[in-house]
Amino acid sequence: MADNRRTSTRHEVDIAARIKVGAEPEDCRIGNLSMGGAFMMMRRLPMGERVTVYFRLPTHDSEIEAVGTIRWSTDQGVGVQFDGLRARETWALGKYLESLPSAP
């Protein structure tokens, strides 16, 4: 059985996003989200790749910008571990996630 190393509760979502890999951002969708990272529905990316994810929450006016690292990749998408959010974005994400049920 796989070792689940998550330290944050995941929440199923369907949020439009952009992910910047190299110079050009590309459109994708967030399938689940936590304080620690996100599942991005998109093409495979190399593990360890540094990315920036941009998305808007329904409860927050400003765009969230999250720098992260690709931790796993499949044909369905990639797992991004956030490397740190600014205080305002951490607060907004926390408030939004509190209102959602946990993913199984």
Please report whether residue 32 resides in a domain: yes
Residues 6 or more apart whose Cβ sits within 8 Å of residue 15: 29, 30, 33, 55, 56, 57
Q: Quote the number of domains for the chain.
A: 1
Residue 1 pLDDT more than 70?
A: no
Beta bridge partners of 19: 26, 53
- CATH code at position 42: 2.40.10.220
Please report whether residue 88 resides in a domain: yes
Q: Is 10:32 a contact under the CB 8 Å cutoff?
A: yes
pLDDT on residue 104 = 62
103, part of any domain: no
Q: Is the pLDDT of residue 79 over 80?
A: yes
User: What CA–CA distances, in Å, run from 38 to 47, 89, 93?
Assistant: 14, 14, 12
Asked if the structure places residue 51 within a domain, the reply is yes
Q: Which two structure tokens, joined as six digits, stand for 76?
A: 């369905």
- Per-residue pLDDT reduced to its tens digit, 19-53: 999 888 999 999 999 999 999 999 999 999 999 99
Give residue 103's pLDDT. Answer: 62
Residue 6 within a domain: no
Containing structural domain, residue 23: 11-98
Between the alpha carbon of residue 6 and those of residues 13, 33, 61, 81, the distances in Å are 17, 12, 28, 10
Average pLDDT of the segment spanning 77-95: 94
